[in-house]
Structure 1
């Protein structure tokens, strides 16, 4: 494939023009990368076309215009629906899939894309569309490392990129892990504001000290991570027994106030399991061993 762009630019195609796709294409255009766009509802390309983007009548036509193909759609089924008819256009190109899915779906798609003679990268984007291209955005990539190195200057326009490994499903595993932590935080927030509301405390009033405390508590996570990686859980501070007593009090209060304990009760079961196995004086971080199925 012959590139008509200067060495400092990359020919980019963006498939999917939802909020994320619009922001991605806009970031590439803003930095002078010749950008082609496609969306099932063609009118969504009008604003980008006015800014200089080319449009493709079909996914295949859009893919054929570029060396770097970025896909940002709803799910992996949609990715396949777009790429299958364009299989003959993929050879020699790099497909960067920024669609959220499962590790298994990433492995399957990577194998299929590679069979078509293209390089594959899977990416997990940590940004809202408004922060794409700013220091608040970052992306984890896995898959073809050579392709990542080649296209990193363009990809870093999305946000700070980190290559996490050559197995194409790794970014999806990272994404699931990180988002699990995020939803755990949201669960705690919902519990906190619901508990406050039982005594007429506004959500905003609970949230102010909660954010302050969570910010401080988050500083413990790197130390916990080191303990988990070493498998060494000795501590003189936040022991499992201390936390088990505290969590029991929280659950008792929750019941007294007429609320469900469904969100936090499973955590107490982990603490109970560890204490019953003889680890009452171990660090709180040792609770992860019950999730792993070890004692």
Structure 2
């Protein structure tokens, strides 16, 4: 059967999968499949067509986006699809998982004759389709280039990371994952503390942009220093950070909430370790040098 180039399928229609299907339907003939068919039927007003089975969703499209709960669910769904349907089809996996899972799943797809991209969505559903949204992919570059127009419909800043299939997982874990999630959690706690201490919500909202701007500038500087292995600084050193963090901890304990944040405690622990190991006069980029700073036990 001839498959139109503009045809795309989405397997999995939770919140993210549903938004992906809706955005794609704006410019492509879009099929979707979900075990609960009612989720797909709700997308009909947006131009999304319900596939009768996962197999038919694969058979009618050159590009299939997987937006399921986990790799195990994806493998179970695709195990029911005839191997002949995989030939000539690119599977873009948008499930959050580990490097090991991605590597194993890529083999599962490739052994059946399909092409594979591991994808990482750096966004919430409301951001899908925005020009600044990133879907970061790893795998064969030629496969990425063939799928790029679809991916950039979903996120205008989508990019290719490299050939190692698990690289998208590592980048997601590090940046939209651990980094952004920890920052969001810390912000929510500390915003509440500021409000309890008398700050208005307008003042807290106004603090977001300058704080993020300060962070962005310092992070770009850290990337430059890490890439060169040069961590000397005439700005704030690790010891300066440590002294400030201790004051922040005490400030929070002295406030109305009479309690600090676990994020401040973790920061102090890392900074003390670095200072004690002789890194105190270097800039904070030096925290990326010693694995001991990055291997705190889970508690």
Structure 1 length-normalised TM: 0.89
Where does residue 113 of structure 1 map in the other structure?
109
Q: What per-residue deviation string (whole Å, max 9, x for no partner) do you get for residues 20-66 of structure 1?
A: 222222222211x2222111111222244455443222111221111
Distance change >3 Å, CA 133–CA 199, structure 1 → 2: closer
Quote the Cα distance in structure 1 between the aligned partners of 2:205 and 2:49.
46
Match 1:101 to one of 97, 107, 123:
97
Q: What per-residue deviation string (whole Å, max 9, x for no partner) do you get for residues 169-221 of structure 1?
A: 11111111112111231233134224324434345533422442332332111
| CA displacement at 1:256 relative to structure 2 | 3.0
Where does residue 30 of structure 1 map in the other structure?
26
Where does residue 164 of structure 2 map in the other structure?
167
CA-atom RMSD in angstroms: 2.2
Distance change >3 Å, CA 203–CA 76, structure 1 → 2: farther
Distance change >3 Å, CA 198–CA 35, structure 1 → 2: closer
* Cα contact 2:237–2:284 (8 A) shared by 1: yes
- Consecutive unaligned residues of structure 2, counting only runs of 5 or more, are 295-299
* Cα contact 2:19–2:128 (8 A) shared by 1: yes
SS of alignment partner, residue 86 of structure 1: coil
Where does residue 128 of structure 1 map in the other structure?
124
Where does residue 60 of structure 1 map in the other structure?
55
SS of alignment partner, residue 119 of structure 2: strand
* Cα contact 1:139–1:162 (8 A) shared by 2: yes
Distance change >3 Å, CA 133–CA 201, structure 1 → 2: closer
Match 1:42 to one of 37, 42, 59:
37
Distance change >3 Å, CA 185–CA 204, structure 1 → 2: farther
Structure 2 length-normalised TM: 0.88
Match runs of 1:258-277 below 5 Å: 258-277=258-277
* Cα contact 2:91–2:116 (8 A) shared by 1: yes
Distance change >3 Å, CA 11–CA 184, structure 1 → 2: same
SS of alignment partner, residue 220 of structure 1: helix
Where does residue 206 of structure 2 map in the other structure?
208
Please identify, of 189-198 and 274-283, the stretch whose mean Cα deviation from structure 2 is larger.
189-198
Match runs of 1:4-19 below 5 Å: 5=4, 9-19=5-15
* Cα contact 1:29–1:52 (8 A) shared by 2: yes
Where does residue 287 of structure 1 map in the other structure?
287
SS of alignment partner, residue 154 of structure 2: coil
Quote the Cα distance in structure 1 between the aligned partners of 2:198 and 2:185.
20
- Consecutive unaligned residues of structure 1, counting only runs of 5 or more, are none
Quote the Cα distance in structure 2 between the aligned partners of 1:52 and 1:209.
41
Match 1:222 to one of 220, 223, 238:
220
| CA displacement at 1:231 relative to structure 2 | 1.6
